[in-house]
Each structure stands twice: as C-alpha cells, then as structure tokens.
C-alpha cells in the first residue's frame, strides 16, 4: 500500500497557499487604508482577515496535512514538518480554525449591537457578550487538549502499530512526520463534543443575530438616513456571504464519515479532493469581502478602469520663428 503524498497534492498546497497569502495581504492593506467610510467595524473585519491569513499560511505551507483514514493518521509534509511533530502542528491548526469561527461571530455581534443601539432594543451588556466569547473560545482550547491526548505518544507509536496495524508497519514507519490517533477513546469523544458544542453555539448565534438584525433594520429604516441604512444592509449581506464561504471549513469533518464506506484508494481520493477544496476557503473569503464591500470594490474597479484607459499621446511640433528686424 502506497502511503506517500502525491506530488500534485503538495504542488496544489504550495500554489494555493502562496496565492492566498498574497491575496490576504492585499485585502488586509485595503482594510487598513481604504476603510474611511466604515466605522470601527473595520477592526473586526481586520482581525478575521488576519486569522484567515494565519490559518492558510499554517495549513498550506507549514503543515500540508494528509489524512490516512484507515489508520486514523495524519501525515505532515510541509515546511515545518522536519522540525515540529505532527501532533503539535495539527493542534495549532484546530486552534486557529476555532478562533476563526469566534472572530466571524464577533463581526456579526458588532454589527448587531450597532443596529440594536439605534433601535434601543436587544442591547447586550458587555460582560454577557465577553462571557459568551470566553466560553466559546474555551471550547476549541479544551478540544485541542483532548485531541493531543487522543494521539499515541511518540515513544509508543511503534508498539501501537505492532498491536493495531502489524501488516502495514513498514509503510507507516516510513512516513516523515505523522501522528496516529486512537479510535473511539474517551479523549476523541470529548474532542468531538467540544467541537460540536462550539460550532452549534456560534452558528446558532449567527443565525439569531442575522434574523434580529434584519428585523430591527426594517423597523428603523424611516428614522435613519438612506446612507446609514444602506451601510448596515451592505454589511449584513457581506457577513452572510462570508458566513457561506466559511461553511467550507466543515468539509473535512463531514467527509470523515462517508469515506469509510469506500475502498481505501477511493476514500483517499475523496479525502485529498476535500482537503484541496478546504484550502481554498481563505481565497474565497477574501474575494467575497472584496466583492461585497463597496469601498474595496469601488477602489478596485477605479484602478482597473484607469489601467485600461490609455492616455492619448499628443505630438507637438514647434518650428523656429524668424524675427525680422
């Protein structure tokens, strides 16, 4: 059985990683320098965009994980793989992705409270909001602790392989950097529970905040200017588009269950394609933000139009004048 990482898989990770990193840097600069017409909500967008950049850089370039589902094993072949154990790399990955969810929720919460203060309704005290954020942030931290303990200790890997996968010992030990997880143990169970609780809470609050924002915005439409109304409406639509793009984060988790129904080769193909789609999430988020935020969209359109409009060249011929005395 060939457990090596396909060349096309590694190449795709490098290409999408570099592209996403450059695109994220460009978007971050736009958020910093071209957000004059946006209130302090831009800082929440900035934090979310920075988290996208860090997650993409970490996964696409430093880690490059490949899931060997038959053995509950992650093999890492990225730039950091020769120096950092795969278990630590995967824990950092889960932690960054968990923070992404929370930062996206913060964007929704900030916009919801801005509209709530206009309506003077459903204004949430800061201590309640911060308490909820702290609890949701604690879930990925607790999940990562469980995830670490669900893995087989480095010094016991060979013994574990002898017990569980003796027929594939040579192939598994030939991997450069990998971590094997125990299937269906208490730590893995709690890991799944913590992740599901955090995801459910964040998604539920985002859905409730969206419905409440739309309702309140319609109610205060006549009491605010058209410019202010359009600004809030555009921000809500942009957030919803971002939320739809972030749903790509769920793909690897959803793919883990059906792949066990297929033969190993077919299952690995599904896993690889899923991870490739997953790695495009940061680029999708950046493009969605550019397309749905008027200041950034207008800035790009103006520059594109300027680059396409070539100035005409005027040649002026000046003949010497003869002065008659």
User: How confident is the model over 260-272, as pLDDT tens digits?
Assistant: 666 667 777 878 8
First-to-last C-alpha distance (Å) of the chain: 102
- Tell me, what CATH number does 102's domain have? 1.20.1070.10
Sheet containing 178-180, strands listed edge to edge, beginning at the edge strand earlier in sequence: 65-68, 73-76, 178-180
pLDDT score recorded for residue 64: 93
Number of domains in the chain: 1
Residues 80-118: pLDDT tens digits? 999 999 999 999 998 998 888 888 888 888 888 888 888
- Cβ atoms 47, 100 nearer than 8 A: no
What sign for the dihedral angle of Cα 164, 168, 169, 175? negative
**Secondary structure element (H or E) that encloses residue 35, with its range:** none
Residue 325: inside a domain:
no
Residue 216: inside a domain:
yes
Residue 64: inside a domain:
yes
Under DSSP, the state recorded for 59 is I
Residue 313: inside a domain:
no
CA torsion, points 63, 69, 72, 75, in degrees to nearest 10? -20
CA 130 to chain CA mean position, Å? 22
Residue 42: inside a domain:
yes
pLDDT tens string, the chain, 325 residues long: the values are 678 888 999 999 999 999 999 999 999 998 888 776 666 778 888 898 999 899 989 999 999 999 887 888 899 999 999 999 999 999 999 899 888 888 888 888 888 888 888 888 888 888 988 898 888 888 889 999 999 999 999 999 999 999 999 988 998 999 989 999 987 789 988 988 888 888 888 888 888 888 888 888 888 888 888 888 888 888 888 888 878 777 766 666 666 666 666 666 777 787 888 888 888 888 888 888 888 887 788 888 887 767 666 554 444 445 555 444 4
- Domain limits at 158? 7-304
Under DSSP, the state recorded for 309 is -
| pTM of the complete model | 0.83
CA angle 154, 266, 247 (to 5 degrees): 75
Residue 73: inside a domain:
yes
Residue 213: inside a domain:
yes
Residue 194: inside a domain:
yes
**Of 44, 213, 210, residue with least CA distance to 115:** 213
**Strand runs (DSSP E) across the chain, as ranges?**
65-68, 73-76, 178-180
């Amino acid at each position: 059985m060939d457990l090596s990482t396909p060349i096309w898989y590694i190449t795709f990770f490098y290409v999408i990683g570099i592209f996403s990193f450059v695109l994220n840097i460009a978007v971050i600069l736009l958020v910093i320098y071209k957000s004059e017409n946006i209130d302090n909500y831009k800082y929440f967008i900035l934090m979310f965009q920075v988290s996208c950049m860090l997650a993409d850089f970490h996964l696409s370039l430093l880690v490059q994980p490949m899931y060997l589902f038959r053995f509950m094993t992650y093999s890492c072949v990225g730039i950091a793989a020769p120096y950092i154990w795969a278990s630590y790399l995967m824990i950092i990955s889960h932690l960054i992705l968990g923070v992404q969810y929370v930062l996206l929720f913060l964007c929704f919460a900030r916009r919801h409270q801005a509209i709530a203060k206009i309506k003077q309704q459903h204004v949430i005290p800061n201590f309640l909001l911060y308490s909820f954020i702290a609890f949701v942030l604690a879930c990925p931290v607790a999940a990562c602790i469980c995830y670490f303990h669900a893995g087989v200790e480095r010094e016991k890997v060979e013994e574990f392989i002898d017990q569980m996968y003796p027929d594939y010992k040579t192939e598994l030990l030939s991997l450069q950097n990998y971590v094997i997880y125990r299937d269906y143990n208490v730590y893995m169970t709690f890991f799944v529970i913590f992740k599901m609780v955090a995801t459910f809470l964040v998604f539920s609050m985002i859905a409730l905040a969206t419905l409440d924002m739309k309702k309140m915005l319609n109610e205060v439409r006549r009491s605010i200017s058209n410019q202010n109304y359009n600004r809030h409406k555009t921000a809500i639509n942009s957030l919803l588009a971002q939320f739809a793009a972030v749903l790509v984060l769920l793909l690897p988790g959803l793919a883990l269950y059906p792949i066990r129904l297929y033969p190993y080769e077919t299952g690995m193909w599904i896993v690889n394609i899923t991870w490739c789609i997953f790695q495009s999430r940061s680029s999708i988020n950046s493009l969605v933000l550019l397309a749905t935020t008027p200041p950034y969209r207008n800035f790009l359109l103006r520059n594109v139009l300027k680059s396409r409009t070539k100035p005409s060249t005027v040649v002026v011929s000046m003949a010497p004048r003869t002065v008659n005395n």
